[in-house]
Structure 1
Amino acid sequence: MTDPQIALAMLGIFIACVFLGFPIAFTLMALGIGFGYYAYYDEGRMWRAFNRLGEDAGWWDSATLWFDGYFNNRIFDLFVNQTYTVISNEVLTAIPLFLFMGYIVERANIVDKLFGTLAVATRNVPGSMGVAALITCALFATATGIVGAVVTLMGLLALPQMLKMRYDHSFAAGIICAGGTLGILIPPSIMLIVYAASSGVSIVRLYAAAILPGFTLVGLYLIYIVVRSMLNPKLAPKPTYEELPAVPFGKMMWMLVTSFLPLAILIFSVLGSILFGLATPTEAASIGALGGMVLAVAYRAMTFQRLRESVYLTVRTTAMVCWLFVGSYTFSAVFSYLGGEQVIGDFVKSLDMTPIQFLILAQLIIFLLGWPLEWSEIIIIFVPIFLPLLPLFGVDPLFFGVLVALNLQTSFLTPPMAMSAYYLKGIAPPEVKLMEIFKGVLPYCGMVVLCMILMYQFPQIVFALPEVFYGPSR
């Protein structure tokens, strides 16, 4: 077998291991080191060393040279260097800080007050409880970026209330599942940090580029909820005064000040300090982590147990991401050294595709990968395969990254592997069936596709804010 064929075999073995359920990070490291030993093995090294030995050399010298010849392989130097590169990456430093902010906010009892306030404020809007739930999901998902936590908490908080208001099961479940995934797109998104570290794209430009697509997607979701509620009021009956009493204007303002405003200030202060160049993403994440603790104290929700849980979950998730990076960097370096990247590039060139066709093919592959894999694994392992192909088709990595972030919304919403649906089913009342949840999330997949089409047709949705804040990209 030639080296490129061995590289493709290496990729095939990895995909097979993924479907067999092996831990992905350690599979990447094992394959990278195993195939790297072959790729970097120097057969003549040991014999050259033996030739330098004198006739009176003892068995210890010979054994040492034999051991050195077989095990002193450059793949081990590569693995150590890649590990150090990940640990010292300043962009990745923001990940544990943003995670800690999210876990603290999740435990600060902010969301229940926010949802209650928005439900009262939007009571005269068609589908008011759904609108309130989606806005709450969007804010909470933005603050945490943790899909499972948002869907689970909102499922415990908002779903029983909507069912009590006689909402259709599918309609209510779809709102929570779709809203819970928004945190991987809307800044300050951890997914965008991981993409920036993988692609070398500026994280501040990436954050600016993702804002308008994120708001566009939220707007499409809200329009869908309101229009469906108007066309079919049985899906979302208007609450009666007894179910949701109106409150005086002054009290409403105070409820908004004490529930909506603190979380909004935290999010916009973190995001604004990044976009306006007042702080690096790591510094802004530090501000956010401190702000989350202040909010938890202000809402009298800070306990040692909650702090310990937040620290533990932060360390666990950060370790997973970092080891994925180490394994991916090692795997991709060996894969490229063996010529696998060149083979894929030549194959894609031979297809003679237009840039639009390439983007559609790439997004279709990422969409399919979203069924068995988490977003972190797709971004760290598979997206770098596409990155060297972008210049061939004149595709901006910034635009590609936002498209991927949009596309990955569907990986949580598309049956049969819609993870947000399974998160919700795990805590939903027994009368809410899994097939009803699947039925409810499918229209939101259509909204994601529509948003991607709008980005294809109007690329300034992505490029407008980065150009306003930082000028045209070079």
Structure 2
Amino acid sequence: MVDWMPLLLFLTVGLILLLGYPVALSLGGGALLFALLGMALGLFDPAFLEAFPNRLYGIMTNETLIAVPLFVFMGVMLERSRIAEDLLDTMAALFGPLRGGLGISVVLVGALLAASTGIVGATVVTMGLLSLPAMLRRNYDPPLAAGTICAAGTLGQVIPPSIVLVLLGDILSSSYQEAQLKMGIFSPDTVSVGDLFVGALLPGLLLVTLYVGYLVAVAWLRPDAAPAIPHAERTIDGEAMWRRVMRVMAPPLVLMVAVLGSIMGGLATPTEAASVGAVGALLLAAIQRRLTLAALRDVVRRTTIVSSMVFFIFVGAAIFSLVFRGLDGDRLVTDFLTSLPGGTWVAMAVVMATLFLLGFILDFIEITFVVVPIVGPVLLAMGVDPVWLGIMIAINLQTSFLTPPFGFSLFYFRGVAPATMTTGQIYRGALPFIVIQLLVLLLLAVAPGLATWLPDAIY
């Protein structure tokens, strides 16, 4: 019974979540029920719950987590300033003369939005509303159009400043310190959000390159699936086109350089860079004359809702973590992973497979707050590089977000797709991009330097 209690806790919380109850209340409430059951059976020491006030205070005073509302504010403000619409119109005009050019535009704009907002749902919905009608109107293959938009939207999981990487950086930092203590190492070294931001750049660019390469190949092999924009529909060309490209591209690129460049150059912490991004988004909206009191009120409201949800889940996850450890769940996980034949590689494969499956039913926030603190210290104590682990988890979750039948990106897209586009078409369109993401995940597994080389070279 003792060994089954942590597993029953995990399964019970998962069942409560599937019934549709709020995540934070499911985590905290389910954990407290098992704490009471454990105390009644003499299996749980209530002293574990005495650590909760310190955990809560740690959340409140964690400077890294301040970056979450700031990056959310930046992303929502850029969305309200209609930067996606301007970028898509301009990139479509630039690449439109090429076969597959509109699809390439969607991928590149998705990457720019990912680097500007870091919010997957907003990117998928925005790109679906803006680009899908244009792609279908120009006779793009519906599955190809759907897959391109869904895949481009998930880039916000990996390309910094990703909210996923901010949360993973904080969790992995704690897990790394815990792993060092288990190994008897007392070192101030840790993993930062900046390390993950820098480490994600090369894998993110590789994903974008492979997406574009796939679209070029489809356009070459099946010209009817991704036709060029007819010459009669091109309203701008030549020098006027490049002036428009510079005018539209310059503001988001300057903002990206200000945020990521300040981190990579050691001029600012991720939290300080997030504040630069928030102010920059405000200035960008003001320059474009789209900063109104109503818009600002809506952005602040939406930022508050998202940030409150994140931190409320963090509180529930803290209770869950304490009870799970109090029921000796961390020991069970450690014994299981360390006893697997094949050592670190097999343990890593099992964890990646588990996270992939959990990505079907849980959002990245729940997985980051609940699962990563459990498996992270074990893997890090086995010698896994924390930056490599963080990027692997991020791309893994990105892949599960795109995988039928439960991928969240597909759900977002289904909500804005026309009724004439079937769910089967959306699923078929996503499959080639899933293969690309799995290929990148495999490349990262055999060549960890893709994630670790740049942070090591800079820091």
Normalised TM-score (structure 2): 0.91
1:302 maps to 2:278: no
Aligned to 1:83: 56
Cα distance in structure 2, aligned partners of 1:244 and 1:208: 38
Q: Which residue of the partner structure matches residue 231 of structure 1?
A: 221
Q: Does 1:222 align with 2:212?
A: yes
Amino acid in structure 2 at the alignment position of 1:171:
L
User: 1:79 deviation in Å?
Assistant: 2.6
Q: CA deviation at 1:42?
A: 13
Q: Distance in 1 between matches of 2:257 and 2:307?
A: 24
The farther-off stretch of 417-426 and 213-222 is 417-426
After superposition, the C-alpha distances for 1:363-385 in whole angstroms (9 at most, x for unaligned) are 11111101111111111111222
* Counterpart in the other structure of 1:64: none
What's the offset of the Cα at 1:335? 1.4
User: What's the counterpart of residue 84 of structure 2?
Assistant: 111
Residue type at the aligned position of 1:258: R
Q: Partners of 2:106 and 2:77 in 1: how far apart?
A: 21
Q: Is the 8 A contact 1:33 1:75 kept in 2?
A: no
**Residues 151-182 of structure 1 deviation map (CA, whole Å, 9 limit, x = unaligned):** 11111111111111111111111111100110
**C-alpha deviation, 1:40, in angstroms:** 7.3
Equivalence for 1:379: 368
Q: Give the whole-Å Cα distance in 2 for the aligned partners of 1:5 and 1:428.
A: 44
Whether the 8 Å contact between 1:110 and 1:299 is mirrored in structure 2 is no
2:110 to 137, 158, 168: 137
Cα deviation per residue 1:347-396 (whole Å; 9 max; x = unaligned)?
22222233222222211111110111111111111122211221453211
Counterpart position of 1:344: 333
Distance 2:232 2:414 in 1: 29
- Is 1:6 matched up with 2:8? no
Instruction: Decide which of 243, 247, 258 is 1:258's aligned counterpart.
Output: 247
> Superposed, which structure 2 residues align to 1:47-66 within 5 Å?
none
Paired residues of 1:41 and 1:74 also in contact (CA < 8 A)? no
- d(CA) in 1 for partners of 2:231, 2:7: 65
Which one has the largest radius of gyration? 1
Identity %: 39
TM-score, normalisation: structure 1: 0.89
Compared with structure 1, are the counterparts of its residues 430 and 37 closer, same or farther at alpha carbon in structure 2 (3 Å cutoff)?
Answer: closer
Distance 1:421 1:350 in 2: 37
Letter aligned with residue 198 of structure 2: A
Please, which moves more after superposition, 94-103 or 192-201?
192-201
Question: Structure 2: which 5+ residue stretches go unaligned?
Answer: 174-190
- In the TM superposition, 1:8-407 aligns within 5 A as 8-36=7-35, 74=47, 77-200=50-173, 201-248=191-238, 250-407=239-396
Tell me what 1:59 maps to: none
Q: CA deviation at 1:76?
A: 5.5
Give the secondary structure class of the aligned counterpart of 1:394.
coil
Q: CA RMSD in A?
A: 2.0
Contact 2:260–2:273 (8 Å) recurs in 1 = yes
Distance 1:427 1:31 in 2: 34
Show the counterpart of 1:54.
Answer: none
- Aligned equivalents of 1:127 and 1:441: distance in 2? 17
The separation in 2 between residues aligned to 1:167 and 1:376, in whole angstroms, is: 35
Aligned to 1:61: none
Letter in 1 for 2:224: K
- Structure 2 partner of 1:52: none
Match of 2:403 in 1: 414
Distance 2:346 2:374 in 1: 17
User: Equivalents in 2 of 1:37, 1:142: separation in Å?
Assistant: 45
Farther-moved stretch of structure 1 (290-299 vs 111-120): 111-120
CA displacement at 1:16 relative to structure 2 = 2.2
Structure 1 pair 285/373, CA: closer, same or farther in 2 (3 Å)? same
Written as runs of structure 1 = structure 2, the 5 A alignment for 1:444-459 is: 444-459=433-448
Aligned residues: 440
Deviations 1:58-113 (A, max 9, x none): xxxxxxxxxxxxxxx64654332222111111110000000000000001022112
CA distance in 2, matches of 1:403, 1:17: 28
Distance 1:440 1:291 in 2: 36
Which is further off, 32-41 or 114-123? 32-41
Q: Tell me which moved more, 222-231 or 109-118.
A: 109-118
Following the alignment from structure 2 to structure 1, what is the Cα–Cα distance between the partners of residues 99 and 231?
Answer: 15
Determine helix, strand or coil for the equivalent of 1:279.
Answer: coil
Measure how far apart 1:323 and its partner are. 1.6
* SS of equivalent residue, structure 1 residue 92: helix
